[in-house]
Amino acid sequence: RLATEGEITGKACECVPCLAPAGIAAKQLLVVGLGKREELDPGVIYRAAAAAAKALAARKRAAVAFLADGSWSTRQLEHAVAGAAVGMVGQDIYRKDKKRTPFGTTIWLAAPADAVERGTHLGDGINLTRRLVNLAPDDMYPQAFADEASAVAGHLGIDIEVWDETRLAKERCGALLAVSRGSSRPPRLVIMRYRGPGRREGSPELALVGKGVTFDSGGLSLKPADSMMGMKCDMAGAATMLGTIATIAALKLPVDVVAAMGLVENMTGPAAYKVGDVLTARNGLTIEVHNTDAEGRLVLADVLDVVRGLEPGRIIDAATLTGACMVALGHDVAGLFSNNQASCDQLVAAAKTAGEPVWQMPMFRHYDPQIESDVADIKNVGDGRWGGAITAAKFLERFVGTTPWTHIDIAGPAFADKPKPWSDGGGTGVMVRSLVELVRGSPEETT
Ligand code: BES
Ligand code: MN
Ligand code: ZN
């Protein structure tokens, strides 16, 4: 009747409440739109479930039961369960009057218990990433991130190593250390290693690397006030990799994965690194600093070299690296850059399966001269702003050797300035679902 009365259009994320529905024990029924059948993918499902949970979490509820379309695969159900877990959590960390109250109990009707469990682990991983991004920068500094990572590692039985500034100096991480010098907060490098069932020997098949700039003031090349707002999100790459390895461990996936997160605060203190400085990165390359606000690539340079030394099968990094990537692709799409087409294609396929939009950008050799320096091996910016997302990726390429590597620039989608029907805005946890999907392999292979 709601449909014939025109109350329901079926548009994706449309929520139509129905109080005291006849013949149903629940006090309220919420009908959630899923859009056109041919456009349905786990992304639509995830967002629709999140939209429903967000609407219902506007007040306290003891129990909410979800009933999914009976035709969904278990993989689709998992994304729905994750979406619901994410939708009921807002940006309430520092508010007395919470906008969202997570449900007392969530029930999934007619869904296999193991799919619900897996979806819940995925939702937890995404919410972990979101919470770390949403914490205020003075609460989420390098050591604070390392503490969170240690707690996660402890719960899930993941090996963890935290390098402090002494160890970083011993390891000759000159680029990362330079960025951190303007801050009163010392830097950290967090290295986590998860070995799944049956994976005890050899090198990791996958290395995840995250940019963890817990606040990016720009350093001495100071950002204008308006651009500095929101720069607590500059550790989203690190938070994404922590959320991803946590989910992989919670799911007990049969893989061997290392995650390395470079954590610094980019500030302007008296010891701050300067424009004109020449840094020596861990791999021996010298870097002339042309702009202290191009700090993410300096941090990643050393972290990439550390994981390259572990001889992983491939490397994937995530970073809120460039405003230029947002100019190119907008707020919702992540940019991909790679030295290995097959490995990039696999990530594109996983993102498509998960319903997270990504777009591959070119890495033509003719960009290389742009990072040549007059005094050092390379410089940390291109010539002018044009193609800035690509010249940043070209810089990173110099630190991965011949290891297949894909860089994900999440400057656009990592943080939402405005609320969406399925989210209150803030940290999004983008790419956690795609990366977990990549590690799990296609549903056909694993069932
Ligand atoms: N963290 C920023 C990039 C960023 C911008 C992330 C907007 C999220 C939203 C990065 O460190 C940065 O400042 N990049 C500069 C590079 C430039 C100086 C070559 C940029 O994009 O302007
Ligand atoms: Mn910057
Ligand atoms: Zn930055």
Mutate to test the pocket of ligand 1, among 222, 235, 275, 322 (most ligand atoms within 8 A of CB): 322
d(CA 48, CA 81): 11
The single residue listed with the structure tokens 């990643």 is 300
Predicted confidence band of residue 198 (pLDDT cuts 50, 70, 90): confident
Known catalytic membership, residue 232: no
Residue range 2-20: average pLDDT?
93
Please tell me the distance from the alpha carbon of residue 154 to that of residue 160, in angstroms, as a whole number: 9
Is residue 289 within 8 Å of residue 395, measured between CB atoms?
no
- pLDDT, residue 441, reads 86
DSSP labels, 340-354: -HHHHHHHHHHHHHH
What stretches of 286-424 show up as alpha helix (H) in DSSP? Answer: 296-308, 323-329, 341-354, 388-397
> Per-residue pLDDT for 45 more than 80?
yes
User: Would residue 223 show up in a list of annotated catalytic residues for this protein?
Assistant: yes
Q: Which of 98, 172, 223, 420 does the annotation list as catalytic?
A: 223
- What atom in ligand 1 is closest to the CA of residue 223? 13
In short, whether 293's Cβ falls inside 6 Å of ligand 1 is: yes
Q: Ligand 2 centroid vs 321 CA: distance in angstroms? A: 7
Tell me the β-bridge partners of 210: 261, 318
* Ligand 1 near 291 CB (within 6 A): yes
Q: Percent of the chain beyond pLDDT 90?
A: 96
Phi, psi of 109 (to 5 degrees): -75, 145
Task: Name the band, by pLDDT with cuts 50, 70 and 90, for residue 446.
Answer: very low
3-class SS at 443? helix
Q: Average of pLDDT values for 42-67?
A: 97
Measured by CA distance, the residue closest to atom 3 of ligand 1 is 322
**Phi and psi of 430, rounded to 5°?**
-60, 145
176 alpha carbon – ligand 3 mean position (Å) = 12
Ligand 1 atom closest to Cα of 234? 1
Strands 159-163 and 105-109: unpaired
DSSP letter, residue 441: -
Mutate to test the pocket of ligand 1, among 228, 291, 292, 321 (most ligand atoms within 8 A of CB): 321
H/E run at residue 178: helix 174-180
- DSSP state, residue 73: -
Which residues contact residue 29 at a Cβ distance below 8 angstroms, ignoring those fewer than 6 apart?
A: 17, 18, 21
Measured CA to CA, the distance from residue 424 to residue 417 in angstroms comes to 9
Residue 444 binned pLDDT confidence (cut-offs 50, 70, 90) = low
With contact defined as beta carbons under 8 Å apart, do 122 and 82 qualify? yes
Which atom of ligand 1 is found nearest the CA of 380? Answer: 19
Q: Tokens representing 21? A: 């529905």
Residues contacting residue 344 through CB under 8 Å, at least 6 positions apart: 336, 338, 360, 406
Nearest atom within ligand 1 for CA of residue 221: 18
**Quick one: which atom of ligand 1 is closest to the CA of 324?**
21
pLDDT of residue 72: 92
Contact by Cβ (8 Å): 356, 434: yes
Instruction: Find tokens 């290891």 and name the residue.
Output: 403
Tokens matching residue 186:
């010392």
**Arithmetic mean of pLDDT, 246-267:** 98
Which candidate in 118, 188, 297, 379 is catalytic? Answer: 297
Give the closest ligand to the alpha carbon of residue 416.
1
Residue 105 dihedral angles phi and psi, to the nearest 5°: -135, 145
Structure tokens at 207: 């290395």
Nearest to 427 by CA among 413, 411, 415, 410: 415
Strand pairing report for 206-216 and 188-195: unpaired
pLDDT tens for 351-361 read 999 999 999 99
| Backbone CA torsion sign across 140, 145, 147, 151 | positive
Distance CA 222, CA 441 (A): 43
Q: Which of 52, 79, 51 is nearest to 64 (CA)?
A: 52
- Ligand 1, atom 9: closest residue by C-alpha: 411
Residue 63 has pLDDT above 90, yes or no: yes
d(CA 162, CA 165): 10
Query: Do residues 285 and 398 touch, judged by C-beta distance below 8 A?
Result: yes
Query: What does the pLDDT look like over 136-174, one tens digit per residue?
Result: 999 999 999 999 999 999 999 999 999 999 999 999 999
For residues 405 and 338, the answer to whether their CB atoms sit within 8 Å is yes
pLDDT category of residue 246 using cuts at 50, 70 and 90: very high
CA of 322 to the centre of ligand 1 (A): 4
- Span 268-321, pLDDT tens digits: 999 999 999 999 999 999 999 999 999 999 999 999 999 999 999 999 999 999
Amino acid occupying residue 327: V
**Helix, strand or coil for residue 40?**
coil
Residue 210 CA to ligand 2 center (angstroms) comes to 15
Categorize the per-residue pLDDT at 201 as very low, low, confident or very high, splitting at 50, 70 and 90: confident
What residues form DSSP beta bridges with 16? Answer: 31
The answer to whether the beta carbons of residues 14 and 33 sit under 8 Å apart is yes
Q: Which of 186, 243, 220 is nearest to 290 (CA)?
A: 220
Give the dihedral of Cα atoms 348, 354, 355, 360; nearest 10 deg: -10
Instruction: For ligand 1, say whether the CB of 323 is within 6 Å of any of its atoms.
Output: yes
Residue 59 makes CB contacts below 8 A (sequence gap 6+) with 101
pLDDT at 443: 61
Residue-wise pLDDT for 77-102, tens only, equals 999 999 999 999 999 999 999 999 99
pLDDT surpasses 50 at 447: no
Ligand 1 proximity of 216 Cβ (cutoff 6 Å): yes
